[in-house]
Structure 1
Amino acid sequence: MSNTDDRFASLMQISRDDPSNSDDYFWVRLSAAESSALSVDPLTLQNEIHADHAMVNGLLLNADTNFIEAQRLSIGSWSRKELRTNTKITYQLPKSDLLAENLEGYARALSTLRMDSLTTSGRRHSKLIVESHTLMGLFKLNPLRVFDLVFDSVRELADSKHGDAFATSLESSTHLSDIIGFRLTRCADFKRRHKIAQFELKIAAEKENTEIGRLYPYLLPVDRSLYDKARSLQGVSPVDELYSDEPKFLFLESTGSKAGLLPIQASVERIIRLGCGTHALPKLRAKMCEQLKKRIHDEKEKHDENQKLESILRIVFFLGPNVCCDAALTTELLKYFQRVVANKREHLKLIEPAIAKCLLPGLPLLRPNPLICEYIWKVVHQLPLASRGKIYKHAMFVTCSTRLTQIKSSADKSIMRILRRLSNQNAKELGRKLGKLALCHPLTVTKAVLQQVQAYPNMIAPIVQALKYCTALTFDTLTFSVLEHFTETKSKLKEDGQNFSLWFSALCSFSGTLLRQYHDIELNDLLRYILKKLDEGEVLDLLILKDLISKLTGIEILKDVSSLEIQRMAAGEKLRGLHENSTSTDSKRRMKGILRLRTAIEGSDASKSMMLRLLLAIAKCRQRIVLKTASAQMKFLGQLFDECHVVLLQYISFLHTAYSVAELKNSLPEIQSLLCEHQLDAAVVFHLYRPILRQTLFSSLDTSSSLAESHNQYWKKLSRDVKASLHSDELWGLVSPEFYLTFWSLNLEDVYVPKELYAKARARTVKYGSTASSTFDQVTQLPSNVVHDELAESLNVELQQLIEHVSRGTQCILRKNSTWVQTADNLSPASVILETCVLPRCKISHADALYCSNFVELVGRSDTDSFSFIQYYDTLFRNVSYLIYACSEFENKFFATFLTSGMAQLTRWRACDVYKRECWQRSEFRNCLNQSSVEASFKDYLRVLYKWEHRLTKGILRNLQNEDYMEVANSLSSLIAIVDTFPVTELLGNYIYSQVKRISMRDKRDDIKTISNRYLSLLNLKRASWKCVPPEDDSASQS
């Protein structure tokens, strides 16, 4: 027993003296405590443990739970330590086992390869692959590393038949690309990498199952390093510096410089699809450029043009954008492409990637050369816009070298510097510089210009002027970029959802201005985009077409038009020319724009003409916009409807100007087809067909014409079609189709002559002529007084022609007025005419509104049977408040013009002498008012006027008392339009004044306040002319 104690004592002493043996010490002490053969006092051991706290960790590693609990140590600390220790062991043991297994496997592989006789005889090359697979499966080895060892073993056989046999045995491998890629990555670390990689490149070039694209991730440096280096040159620090600065395939540099391209030609042809850059390989690039020149001028391959093109494209793809380092080579290459495409257009598909990946991105490497841009455009303009767009889109993001990125960054700064300094005064000077930059950076210039336009719409005019030195290629990229911006998911409305976004409005205006200024830009693509969007129900893109038509043709539909301008719409060309201040140059420019737009709409193929398709798309959008638009804002819906209506009027006016009546008749479908098949509104169809209907009507009434009979037959056919297509039999029982067609066939100049405008214009011209000096006019080279006298005479002649036209047309039209109304009831025809004819047409335009008022007055003046002029206006004033509320903003302007004209006519008859001269002769006024004398009938007429005024006042007050925006805004707008003729009575005027005053003070909507204050200011000017006497006494004051 004592010997055992002595051995334990000596072990404990050793463990105490050497801290590294602390675990042994605790093991001895614990064993002694548990052994009954050893006389170890547990209390003594506990004291030793507590005396030396540094040894507690060792104790926890060796003690068990019972001992720790007996010694009253912390069981929690021991449990956590035990858990961490077991976890560590659990994770480390598999790694250790795997490492040991890998070491054993690689040792086995090395010994197998070393002992193999393949390096001398090559007889077991196929068995070597099998043994490698066995080792990988047995020892779980990395296949890439195993085959890397195999490549090292057979490297000396690269030029022998045994190497070829080994390469053949690899064909069954499905991961050959990964194997070769890993090998190339390791080769990049060796100084003699060009020799090491020869064998691998040979295999990559010859084996069909090698996926070249899978090699790219194994090559160095990573693409990100190029961008980081470019950013560092711009002052932006890269994220990290972990990437190598060596270019991919750097081992080709020394290979190409020593033995030329022929030794690795097969390899190059297989890896060109990788997009590898040659920016850091000047020797290789120079040799490839030389070989490319030889291929272009090689006469031996002329018999096989396809093979020659493929070989040239291989080299071009490998050079990438660096093919443009040589301007002469680039020119020869583009000329060759032109010849190839001219002979066979199918080659465009092969040349398209070369332009997108090589030629366009490489333009910054050249000096500004407009000839090269012209050559590129001659090749790409034969492609459709979709293909050209893909080219531009891809070329915009191609960056093959840090140098190219640096050049583009410098160009960005130069372009923005020019655009910031640009103004109308220096547009020519800075435009030259911008055009020079656009020769090398067309895509960059396009991007910067559109950014500037969207941010600053007031810069559109100088920017368009500055683009005059750009090439067709730049304009094409600009067109594509504009369309790309239109197709983006960015909202075209502001955040309030009621107004167009600034960027969208600016781009629409820019597109129209650009296309007006430069006639070489194609319109077809933009029109196709608009048509496609309209077919998809995108109404907002109509704003593009609106700006396009207004800029090219000068056709604009104005919302706020004065009464003089509305009357001028019925004047002749001489009078309109005096006020438009348009020169012959402007007229020629408009006609060129109209012809250009017509050519673009029709296209080269008549079967693909967009003329009718655009018309139907716009008309259907106008009809469906209220139901299809997901918006609860009536104001916004009204604005969209007005935009559609304006574009429709613009487009129809363009068709009437660009096409003759015969051409329009041949191009448009029949009226019945438009009404029934396409289900267009009758007002739109007749507005479109009016030139045809008007010519047919006057030709059928002209008995001296040889074509009168054919036109008469066509007129009868139209009557039958209209009767079969529109409304019901109840309508045709009241009104004849003849009257219906006549109403929709005439224009304003057929029923109205602005005599007052001609009188004022002639008086002003005579005045100027009498005071003019003897100076000569610059246009006619005649004295100024002679020119004014001739102008006054021409105005007088034009006025007489208009009067004769209206008189002759009125006489011809009124020949058949006896058959217009087909019932004896006076009330029904007036209501039907108002509902089916007047109200739909008076909301088309200002001219149509004025026409409706004058046509109805013409019908009343002709004493048309069973048509009551008084019943017509009584029905109108009974429903006028509802009609005002049912209008959009534009429609309300047109309806107000109609009301103004009608009320002006009624107000003019307030004078007794005028009433006696114009109204007393009508049977309707004598019969309806039931008075035997003129004075009594005139008094009854004043009472009727007061009743209508009271009814109108009551309806408008009802609208103004509501909170609905459309009711209040439309009513105020109508009041402003008719302020000269309504109100007339002081009592009714004060009611309206009080209500409008209350709105201006209490309403929180700013636009409503603005309109109400404007009306109050106009009303204050008219209050002095109000009549305070009742209608009975008004006749006395008139007499």
Structure 2
Amino acid sequence: MLRPLQAPDYKYVTEECLREWKGQSAAAFRIPDPVPMPRFLYELCWATVLGDLSPHKCRAALDSVVFAEEAWQEDSGSVLADIVAHLGQDITFSGEYRNRLVKMTKSFVESSLIAPRLLQERCEEEFLWEVEQSKSKGQDLKAKEVRVNTRLLYQQTKFNLLREESEGYAKLVTLLCQVNSDLACQNASSATISIIKSLIGHFDLDPNRVFDIVLECFELYPDNSIFYQLIPLFPKSHAAKILGFKFQYYQQLDVNIPVPSGLFRIAALLVKSGLIDLDNLYAHLLPNDDEAFEHFGSFVSRKIDEATKIGKINLAATGKDLMDDEKQEITIDLYTALEMENDIVEERAPEIEKNQKLGLLLGFLSVHDWDHAQLLFERLAQLNPVEHIEICHGLFRIIEKTISSAYSAYCQTHHKISRNIDTHMIDASSVSSPSYLVHPPKVFFQMLAVCGPYLHRDTQLFQKVCRVLKAYHASSKESAHTTGVMSPESHIEEALGSCLLPSLQLIPANPAVDMEIWGVLSLLPYEVRYRLYGEWEKDAEQNPVVLAARQTAKLDTRRLLKRLAKENLKQLGRMVAKLAHANPMTVLRTIVQQVEAYRDMINPVVDAFKYLTQLEYDILQYIVIERLAQGGRERVKDDGLNLSDWLQCLASFWGHLCKKHFSMELKCLFQYIVNQLKKGLGTELVVLEELIQQMANVQYTENMTDEQVDGMAGSETLRLQSSLFGSTRNYKVLNKSTNKLRDSLLPKDEPKLAIPLLLLIAQHRSKCHIYQDG
């Protein structure tokens, strides 16, 4: 006895409908309202399986109904196949119920309500055997299905491009390598793409392998524009992965071949053209950033330790060794830092081959893609990538290309000025006419910031940069009222502080470079220049090469000062100048410190400074003011009456120097004295006293001889002779120095400091007994 089935609730196949379909008037019966097709077919199949309706009457039932769906004829077969497959899997269908299901299914197939293909797709193997839609038994068909699925889904198909299925790949490679034929023409691009698609379809080529071959050919012919149209045919994410797999191949331990430069180049071209995302490709590159940073940090620490040991005295040395060192011939070493840099570059040379991220950065530089190169420079900043020669030269090429138009405009302007014989007749408006305005792009200053101190490797480019900055400053004055861009002084400050000044101390004794960089610095007010000098002096602690240059310059300067005398002034003075040309900040600071301690060194040092450039004079004045403003040192001796020796020596040195070298700018020193007097500090007046005595020959004395007193009652000439106090007068030098002092106190176009200085001195004289410093 069959166990009754729990049938669904009939909503559309009602008792009345079943009676009509069983009767003689089934062909004339119609359901008045449209019904949903899936629900009606589901109820109809259940009614047939339960025996309420004969399978042969199902056709009449379908003819008597109107479905609500418009495309019911196309979807009815698929819905019936799903219902039959669902009922066929019900294990409660047994005996007569299953026989009715089988008869109903056969009836549907015979009446073409269900296509056999749909049943074969969706029904189980045993049920297909029962409804005679399979020639194999259920168990045999299931075993065959397992074998087919295993072969299709789990068995990997391997291709040998040398033997198996090579015809399609051969035709593809032949087509892609036709760079000198009509393939490069724009008109043939669409036809070529169609041929490649046909080869993929006809020879059943793997698309990933096809893309790999496209990349190989692109690596050989990177200038062929057809590849930029082929690569977008492949998914963007797949392209990055396949290219990443090519990089990962060279990361294997058994592969000792470095990554080809062409692979980095095509990767850079694809990223530049937007065909691949940089982040997707970056994830496939080695080594890991943290590991590389840690390794390089230990390397830099070791090199900094080596640089700091330069010039240290060996306490284990014997007296004879020290005497031998003193007897050696005086020489200066301008290339110690560069030799250390060469050693570092040589030691880091394998890194450019092992670090794929540095190789990709070099690829971006080779294709002049600064936007993505800057991103990698920022990510790899802790690795100091510019230190590598290849990356540095690639950056130089981009800088050269960036300023080519601006430098050409500068050359045209300069040629226009020099072509005129009488330079005094040149119209100022014609010198910087709008047609020759120089405005370098913003990325130019970003490149200089990345370049850092390594611009010293190309002094020609260094001078071009300086000239472009000067022309930019001149052009910006004319166009400032029309453009609302950032002030040129800010850009010039950025270039000087980040690149030009740090690079200067690694260039061995080149006064021409000093004059070029002074041409840029002189455009800025002295407050900005001094701030740049202060930042420049503090930025050398993290770079071992710069630190080595400073340590070497300090050591050589001390050795020269030990033997500097009037007899060898010409020879050693030039050596001092060479050291100052290469590293002015360190050399001049060392000399000033020695002068503060030894008064006898003032005259030979002042005579040796005649070989300095204007840049070095400006740095020297900054050092003197910085030494005056430096705290932590007593300015008055313990007796409370006399000034400290270091302050007197420094003031005397500055007075003698300004008397002999008229190019010194005194305005900033006078402004410093004014600021100190405003604070109630008057010890720096000794510097003003020395300047007046040396430059104007106004001597201050409390005890005069009888002859000098009588001479002061005579004419002007006699009074001048009496004021010599035994010294020899050079009227030509005196006139120049006096005029320089007057022009510094009473400038024509700037605020005059003479009157404020006199008023502050008078105020300080009446209050000096109140202040501690006097």
For residues 592 and 444 of structure 1, the distance between their equivalents in structure 2, rounded to whole angstroms, comes to: 30
Q: How does 1:907-918 map to 2 (within 5 A)?
A: none
For residues 281 and 629 of structure 2, the distance between their equivalents in structure 1, rounded to whole angstroms, comes to: 43
Contact 2:310/2:551 (8 A) holds in 1? no
* 2:591 corresponds to 1:484: no
For residues 603 and 219 of structure 1, the distance between their equivalents in structure 2, rounded to whole angstroms, comes to: 57
Counterpart of 2:511 in structure 1 is: 370
Counterpart of 1:590 in structure 2 is: 734
Aligned match of 1:311 in 435, 443, 455? 443
Q: Cα offset for 1:454?
A: 1.0
Counterpart of 1:327 in structure 2 is: 459
* 2:392 corresponds to 1:285: yes
* 2:365 corresponds to 1:221: no
CA RMSD of aligned residues (A): 4.3
For residues 281 and 394 of structure 2, the distance between their equivalents in structure 1, rounded to whole angstroms, comes to: 20
Question: Structure 1 569/323 Cα, relative in aligned 2: closer, same or farther at 3 Å?
Answer: same
Contact 2:530/2:622 (8 A) holds in 1? yes
SS of residue paired to 2:500: helix
For residues 232 and 526 of structure 1, the distance between their equivalents in structure 2, rounded to whole angstroms, comes to: 36
Contact 1:272/1:317 (8 A) holds in 2? no
Contact 2:515/2:614 (8 A) holds in 1? yes
Deviations, residues 363-405 of structure 1 (Å, cap 9, x unaligned) = 2432322111111111101211121112212222333643343
Question: Structure 1 375/275 Cα, relative in aligned 2: closer, same or farther at 3 Å?
Answer: farther
Counterpart of 1:457 in structure 2 is: 599
For residues 205 and 463 of structure 1, the distance between their equivalents in structure 2, rounded to whole angstroms, comes to: 60
Aligned match of 1:394 in 518, 532, 535? 535
1:350 is aligned with what amino acid? Answer: H
Question: Structure 1 234/550 Cα, relative in aligned 2: closer, same or farther at 3 Å?
Answer: closer
Counterpart of 1:419 in structure 2 is: 561
SS of residue paired to 2:713: coil
Q: Cα offset for 1:279?
A: 5.6
Deviations, residues 689-722 of structure 1 (Å, cap 9, x unaligned) = xxxxxxxxxxxxxxxxxxxxxxxxxxxxxxxxxx
* 2:307 corresponds to 1:230: yes
SS of residue paired to 1:605: coil
Question: Structure 1 161/515 Cα, relative in aligned 2: closer, same or farther at 3 Å?
Answer: same
For residues 717 and 309 of structure 2, the distance between their equivalents in structure 1, rounded to whole angstroms, comes to: 68
Deviations, residues 429-482 of structure 1 (Å, cap 9, x unaligned) = 211111122111111221111111012111101000001001000100000000
Contact 2:673/2:685 (8 A) holds in 1? yes
For residues 312 and 376 of structure 2, the distance between their equivalents in structure 1, rounded to whole angstroms, comes to: 35
When normalised by structure 1's length, the TM-score is 0.38
For residues 383 and 618 of structure 1, the distance between their equivalents in structure 2, rounded to whole angstroms, comes to: 30
1:514 is aligned with what amino acid? Answer: L
Counterpart of 2:677 in structure 1 is: 534
For residues 306 and 505 of structure 1, the distance between their equivalents in structure 2, rounded to whole angstroms, comes to: 48
Counterpart of 2:404 in structure 1 is: 297
Q: Cα offset for 1:257?
A: 4.8
SS of residue paired to 1:356: helix
1:227 is aligned with what amino acid? Answer: I
* 2:490 corresponds to 1:383: no
Contact 1:438/1:474 (8 A) holds in 2? yes
* 2:687 corresponds to 1:544: yes
Contact 2:504/2:582 (8 A) holds in 1? yes
For residues 547 and 503 of structure 1, the distance between their equivalents in structure 2, rounded to whole angstroms, comes to: 14
For residues 298 and 577 of structure 1, the distance between their equivalents in structure 2, rounded to whole angstroms, comes to: 60
Contact 1:275/1:320 (8 A) holds in 2? no
SS of residue paired to 1:221: helix
Counterpart of 1:512 in structure 2 is: 655
For residues 518 and 310 of structure 2, the distance between their equivalents in structure 1, rounded to whole angstroms, comes to: 33
2:370 is aligned with what amino acid? Answer: Q
Q: Cα offset for 1:254?
A: 2.5
Q: Cα offset for 1:355?
A: 1.6
**Matched residue pairs, number?**
440
Q: Cα offset for 1:569?
A: 2.3
For residues 518 and 504 of structure 2, the distance between their equivalents in structure 1, rounded to whole angstroms, comes to: 13
Aligned match of 2:374 in 269, 272, 282? 269
Deviations, residues 318-374 of structure 1 (Å, cap 9, x unaligned) = 121111111111111111111111111531211212222322221243232211111
Structure having the larger proportion of residues in helix? 1
Deviations, residues 407-435 of structure 1 (Å, cap 9, x unaligned) = 33322222222111111222222111111
Q: How does 1:570-581 map to 2 (within 5 A)?
A: 570-573=713-716, 575-576=718-719, 579=722
For structure 2, the 5+ residue unaligned runs are 1-231, 242-250, 283-289, 315-343, 410-434, 478-486
For residues 747 and 603 of structure 2, the distance between their equivalents in structure 1, rounded to whole angstroms, comes to: 29
For residues 767 and 280 of structure 2, the distance between their equivalents in structure 1, rounded to whole angstroms, comes to: 62
Contact 1:201/1:267 (8 A) holds in 2? no
Q: Cα offset for 1:165?
A: 13
Question: Structure 1 203/388 Cα, relative in aligned 2: closer, same or farther at 3 Å?
Answer: farther
For residues 235 and 543 of structure 1, the distance between their equivalents in structure 2, rounded to whole angstroms, comes to: 36
2:373 is aligned with what amino acid? Answer: V
For residues 514 and 589 of structure 2, the distance between their equivalents in structure 1, rounded to whole angstroms, comes to: 18
Q: Cα offset for 1:280?
A: 3.8
For residues 436 and 205 of structure 1, the distance between their equivalents in structure 2, rounded to whole angstroms, comes to: 49
Q: Cα offset for 1:598?
A: 1.5
For residues 235 and 630 of structure 1, the distance between their equivalents in structure 2, rounded to whole angstroms, comes to: 40
Aligned match of 2:765 in 610, 613, 622? 622
Q: How does 1:59-70 map to 2 (within 5 A)?
A: none
For residues 689 and 727 of structure 2, the distance between their equivalents in structure 1, rounded to whole angstroms, comes to: 24
Aligned match of 1:600 in 740, 744, 752? 744
Q: Cα offset for 1:524?
A: 0.6
Aligned match of 2:613 in 467, 471, 496? 471
For residues 614 and 465 of structure 2, the distance between their equivalents in structure 1, rounded to whole angstroms, comes to: 20
Q: How does 1:824-973 map to 2 (within 5 A)?
A: none
Deviations, residues 28-55 of structure 1 (Å, cap 9, x unaligned) = xxxxxxxxxxxxxxxxxxxxxxxxxxxx
SS of residue paired to 1:344: helix
For residues 383 and 205 of structure 1, the distance between their equivalents in structure 2, rounded to whole angstroms, comes to: 45
Counterpart of 1:860 in structure 2 is: none
For structure 1, the 5+ residue unaligned runs are 1-156, 167-186, 207-213, 238-242, 632-639, 641-1039
Counterpart of 2:636 in structure 1 is: 493
2:496 is aligned with what amino acid? Answer: I
* 2:502 corresponds to 1:502: no
For residues 597 and 579 of structure 1, the distance between their equivalents in structure 2, rounded to whole angstroms, comes to: 22
SS of residue paired to 2:359: helix
